[in-house]
Copies of this chain bind each other. A is one copy, B any other.
Amino acid sequence: MLDSTIGELKFDAQGLIPAVVQDADNGELLMVAWMNAASLKSTIETGKTHFWSRSRKKYWMKGESSGHTQTVVSISTDCDKDVLRIAVRQIGGACHTGYRSCFSWHLREDGWVEEGQKMFDPDDVYKKG
């Protein structure tokens, strides 16, 4: 059943679909990342978001190194079935820069201005070995 439900989605030529991750309570847009069929299946089965990293070519669970996991509340798709919406409860911050939301660069008269709610210091969280 789950495989056929996932199979109804339109993955791109690389087998990926963008996932828009939103705070389930207040609608804040937290991040956009990519999933393949396996990471979506893990997301559904574990209730924690899993993605595919295009740059690192690696399957990852959000929060696996930072502890800032996302617990899934609901999953929806759009009229074209080619984008996912994942509503979550976020622990800590979604952004590796320390912000709660990755969308913390805002268009102003003089360009992109960084402004957001810092939840952690990335140097503390992603320690170099």
- Interface residue ranges, A against B (CB under 8 Å): 1, 4-5, 8, 18, 20, 22-23, 26-29, 31-32, 44, 74-81, 83, 85, 95-97, 99, 102-107, 110-112
Question: Copy number of this protein in the oligomer?
Answer: 2
Q: In the bound complex, do residue B107 and residue A81 qualify as a contact, i.e. CB atoms below 8 Å apart?
A: no
Q: In the bound complex, do residue A76 and residue B26 qualify as a contact, i.e. CB atoms below 8 Å apart?
A: no
Q: In the bound complex, do residue A79 and residue B106 qualify as a contact, i.e. CB atoms below 8 Å apart?
A: no
Contact residues in B for A32 (Cβ distance below 8 Å): 18, 20, 78, 83
Q: In the bound complex, do residue B20 and residue A112 qualify as a contact, i.e. CB atoms below 8 Å apart?
A: no
User: In this complex, what residue of B is CB-closest to A33?
Assistant: B83
Partner among B20, B83, B112 whose Cβ is within 8 Å of the Cβ of A5? B112
Q: In the bound complex, do residue A79 and residue B102 qualify as a contact, i.e. CB atoms below 8 Å apart?
A: yes
Contact residues in B for A27 (Cβ distance below 8 Å): 22-23, 26-29
Q: Provide the bound-state CA to CA distance between A1 and B80, in Å.
A: 36
Q: Which of A20, A77, A79 has the most CB of B within 10 A?
A: A79
Q: In the bound complex, do residue A104 and residue B79 qualify as a contact, i.e. CB atoms below 8 Å apart?
A: yes
Q: Provide the bound-state CA to CA distance between A96 and B76, in Å.
A: 17
Least distance between A45 CB and chain B CB atoms (Å): 12
Q: Provide the bound-state CA to CA distance between A32 and B1, in Å.
A: 27
Contact residues in B for A77 (Cβ distance below 8 Å): 103, 105, 107, 112
